[in-house]
Amino acid sequence: MPVKKVEKIWMNGSLVGWDEARIHVLSHVVHYGTSWFEGIRCYDTAKGPAIFRLDKHIARLFDSLKIYRTELPYTEAQVESAILETIRANKMRACYIRPVVYRGYGEVGVNPSGCPVELAVAVWEWGSYLGQEALANGIDVCISTWNRPAPNTLPTMAKAGGNYILSQMMKLEAVQGGYVEAIALDVQGNLSEGSGENLFLVHDGVLLTPPLASSILPGITRLAIRKLAREMGYEVKEGPVPREMVYIADEMFFTGTAAEVTPIRSVDRAKVGTGKPGPVTMALQKAFFDVVKNANDPHHWLKFVYTS
């Protein structure tokens, strides 16, 4: 989806013009993928613009930095303030939010220690990642030929820019094969996740979702859906999910900041259930949108932009 230009981007402590938000071509991040980021949504709710689970996103960003032994010269509170400042400066009511920490210009070598750690925050208008039709009717996906890495080869719990080279390979393969998205297997051959989404299956009324040990990102929307599902009376099991479950599941869906709650209607051109979004999926999608659009928020997941 094209990025829609706004007026200001926050960079290293101040707002700059969109076209002035630049880095040097020899910045470490360009050569070695040393960036860590979050994808966050601000919704124009019935009670005003509000960010979904901002605190959890910022905490995950700092967890990613810890895993990669990187010190950010800002506190979590300062990152939150920068995000709110950027949204307000651009007068946004609904937007996608991208805070990104990266290693800047200093040295060119694998060792990142001599390069500064910098922070930028950008916001822009962004609709449904996989399209409104996908939310309503579901998408066709494939099992990727690319596996997620083994736990001791790449830290998949970190949301690092370099990690997404694999996601790009998955996505390209899927699109070129006529699918919308791909699902990767883990090193054991069990289900892992999509190129940028977590995965749920429904079988005999029970929700199944792969564990962190299957090389998934600890998704924030995933946790919210898991909580909503249990409150609605569904049993949720987190554990290894064999590949063949995709062919006998009654329902499947992706979750994520970008994907929100997107039904999966087929895998490898085999229908999931009836081939249409199922009742459990749509009930959870409705519950999720009730929070982020109607501000029915008993869990206090929303951070309102124009209140303290």
Contacts of 210 (CB under 8 A, 6+ apart): 186, 190, 191, 192, 193, 198, 199, 216, 238, 239, 240, 241
Active site residues: 159
Give the whole-angstrom CA distance, residue 215 versus residue 150: 7
Is residue 86 within 8 Å of residue 21, measured between CB atoms?
A: no
Q: Residue 259 and residue 275: Cα distance in Å, rounded?
A: 19
- Report the C-alpha gap between 34 and 116 in whole angstroms: 11
| Helix-then-strand count for the chain, H and E | 8, 17
Chain-centroid distance of CA 250 in Å reads: 25
